[in-house]
Amino acid sequence: MNQYTHEEVVDVFLDHIRYLAIVHHVTGRIRVKAGWDAVKTLAKTGTSEIERVIGMIPGIHDYRVNKKALSVVIEYDPAVLPFSLWEDVGRLKDYPLHRDEVRERLLAILQGDKGGE
């Protein structure tokens, strides 16, 4: 898949981030970590696909993957991706029924609507 629709970007992002738990979060910077139970699932995913999708999300300035620590640090613009949105994304593992709401907020951001807040 070379070109992604907004819906595909959000779905790929949410499909993979649900395996990660927030371990540290301050406004503008978040660190998420995979549990050992998620390693096998995440290992099947092409890294280039995930990186391409992350690069398509407005407001993400930079990210660093630490494979040994099974973590990712994401630096973001809180004016585009509010702190509360990241917290809601982080809760999806425990509250998967909120996915549609979070998905709609992310889609609004990708489509240029500030309704993500």
Would you say residue 21 has pLDDT above 80?
Answer: yes
Max CA separation in the chain (angstroms): 37
CA angle 50, 54, 59 (to 5 degrees): 175
- Model confidence over 63-88: pLDDT tens digits? 887 777 888 899 999 999 999 999 99
Matching residue, tokens 């992310």: 106
pLDDT at residue number 1: 44
Mean pLDDT of 1-5: 70
Q: Name the residue type at position 36.
A: W
In the chain, the domains with their CATH numbers are 6-109 (3.30.1360)
